[in-house]
Chain A
Amino acid sequence: MTQIETELQLLKKEVINMWDLVRSQLLKAKSSMLNFDKDLAREVVLKERRVNGAELKIDRDCENIFALLTPVAVDLRFVLAVLKINSNLERIGDIAEGIAKYMLDVDAPFKKELLEQTFVTKMFDESINILEDTLHAFESEDTILARSVFKKDEFLDDINIRANELIEEYLNKNPADLNQALYILSVIRKLERVGDQSKNISEEIIFYLEAKVLKHKHSH
C-alpha cells in the first residue's frame, strides 16, 4: 500500500470514529429527553469537547495530507469531502449538546402525550437513522444509500413544517404545559437541522465517489 493510501485509510477511520461519537451523543440526548436523565445530559455536554477535539484533529490531518502528499483525483475529492463532512458532523455534535442543555433546564419529565403527538421521538429516531445511513454510505462507499437520505430527510422537514400546528393543538388541550411544549418545539427545530447536515454529508459522499456536484441542485 502506498503512503497516501495508508494515510487516507487512517483519516477515514478517524472520521468514522467521530461519526460514532456524534451518533452516541444524539442517542444519549434522546435518552435523556425520554427518561429525564440529567446525568446523561451532563455527560453529553461534557463530551462535546471530545467532538470538538476530533474535529480539530481531522482538520489538521487533512491539512497535512494536502501539504505533504498532494492528493489528486479521487484522493483529492476524498480529502475535500472529509473536510466538509467533518464540519457537518461537528455541527450535529453541537445540536446534540444544545438538546442536552435544554434537558438540563427542564424541571419535570416530558408528558407522554406531548412526545407522541408532536412526533418528536419519531423524529429523533429518524434523524439518528439518517445519520447512520450516511455513515454506512461513507463506510461502504454506497452512493445509492447516500441518495436515499434525501428522501428520508423529507419526513423530518414535514414534521418541522407541521410543528407549530401540532404544538398549538397540544397547547389548546393542555395549556399548563406551555413551557414543556416550547422546549419540544426547540428540539424539533434542532433535529430538523440534523437532517440538513446529513443531507450535506450525503452530497459530499456523492461528490467524492462520483465527482458529481449535487449542492443547490435537487429540490424537495
Chain B
Amino acid sequence: MESTIVKAVDYNAYFGDNHVVKNVNISIPKNHVIAVMGPSGCGKTTFLRGINRMHELIPNATASGKILLNNEDVMQMHPIFVRLKIGMVFQRPNPFPNLSIYDNVIAGYKLNGIKLPKTEKDKIVEESLTKVALWKEVKDSLMKKGTFLSGGQQQRLCIARAVAMQPEVLLFDEPTSALDPISTSTVEELFHELKKNYTLIIVTHNMQQAARVSDRTAFFYMGELVEYDDTKKMFTNPKDNRTQNYITGRFS
C-alpha cells in the first residue's frame, strides 16, 4: 500500500466571514501527481495555499482543522519550516528579477543566508536545472538575468528554484495558465519526471491537463471536496453528478 504524505483533516479556510474551503478531508499518496480542479472560486487555490501556509499571508485569512505532512500537523509547525518542505510554483513565472539564473536556482539558500561552498552550489544548480530539463538550454548563460528567458523557461526556472530546496511536496498553482501550448506541454512532461522524487499537487483550470498529467484528481465545488478518485475513474465514470456535469462542460 502506498504511503500517505499529506493529509487534510476537517480543513476549513476563511477570508473574513467568507467560508471558502469547507471541511476538506483528503489523503495524498507519496510520489503521485494529484490534480485539483473545479470552477473559479471553488476554493481549490485557497486549499492549495493552505497546505504550505501561504493562505495566512493574506490579511483576514484564517483556517482551522489539520494539515498533516508525514503525520505532523503543519499548523503547529513554524511556517518557514513548512515552506522549506513544501515548495510552491505560481501561476505566472516569477523569477527574482534582480538575480541571475544561477542565483535564482539557489535563491532559497542565498536569500535565506545559508552559506554553501561553491562546488556544492554548482552541484545544486546543475542538478536542479537538469531535473527541470533546462540545463542544456541555459548552461552557457547562467549569469544572465532570469527574466531574459522565455515564459516557459522562466516557469521551469521557478520549478528548479523550488526543487533546489529538496522539498518533499511541490504545489503548483495553475502552473501553465500563463504559458503558450508548447511550453505547457514541456512543463506537463516534467511532471512525469518530477513525481519520481516528489509528490505533486497541481491546481488547474484545465480539465484536459488534469486528465493528462495526474494520477488522482480532486474536484472542488463551492468550497467542498466533491469527489476524489483515480483520474481514470474520474474521467470515465465519475460518481457524483456535479463532477460529471463539470467535466462534460454541462455546468450551469
Contacts and interface: CB of A to CB of B under 8 A. Distances in A.
Contacts of B211: 67-70
A63 B208 contact: no
Contact of A68 (B185, B188, B192, B212): B212
B208 A70 contact: yes
Nearest to A64: B232
The 6 tightest CB contacts between A and B, nearest first, are A67-B235, A68-B211, A67-B236, A64-B232, A63-B236, A70-B208
Interface string A53-91: 000000000011001111000000000000000000000
Contact of A3 (B189, B231, B232, B235): B189
B169 to A, nearest CB: 22
Question: Dominant SS at the A interface?
Answer: helix
A69 B214 CA distance: 11
Interface string B204-222: 0000100111000000000
A3 B236 contact: no
19 contacts: A2-B185, A2-B189, A3-B189, A3-B192, A3-B212, A3-B213, A63-B236, A64-B232, A64-B235, A64-B236, A67-B211, A67-B235, A67-B236, A68-B212, A68-B232, A68-B235, A69-B211, A70-B208, A70-B211
Interface in B57-112: none
Given A3-B212, A3-B213, A68-B232, 7 more contacts: A2-B189, A3-B189, A67-B236, A68-B212, A68-B231, A69-B211, A69-B212
B213 to A, nearest CB: 8
Contacts of B212: 3, 68-69
Interface of B: 185, 188-189, 192, 208, 211-213, 231-232, 235-236
Given A64-B236, A68-B231, A68-B235, A3 B208 contact: no
B195 to A, nearest CB: 12
Nearest to A4: B212
B189 to A, nearest CB: 7
Q: Is the interface of B mostly helix, strand, loop or mixed?
A: helix
Contacts of A64: 232, 235-236
Contacts of B232: 64, 67-68
Contacts of B231: 68
B236 to A, nearest CB: 5
A69 B235 CA distance: 10
B187 to A, nearest CB: 12
A78 B208 CA distance: 20
Contacts of B189: 2-3
A70 B212 CA distance: 9
Contacts of A68: 211-212, 231-232, 235
B97 to A, nearest CB: 32
A26 to B, nearest CB: 33
A17 to B, nearest CB: 21
Contacts of B213: 3
A2 B185 CA distance: 8
Contacts of A70: 208, 211
A3 B185 CA distance: 10
A70 B211 CA distance: 9
Contacts of B236: 63-64, 67
A2 B231 CA distance: 18
Contacts of A67: 211, 232, 235-236
Nearest to B208: A70
Interface string A32-59: 0000000000000000000000000000
B37 to A, nearest CB: 13
A176 to B, nearest CB: 58
Contacts of B192: 3
A181 to B, nearest CB: 50
Contacts of A3: 188-189, 192, 212-213
A67 B217 CA distance: 13
A76 to B, nearest CB: 14
A11 to B, nearest CB: 14
Nearest to A61: B232
Interface in A1-23: 2-3
Contacts of B208: 70
Contacts of A2: 185, 189
A23 to B, nearest CB: 30
A85 to B, nearest CB: 21
Contacts of B188: 3
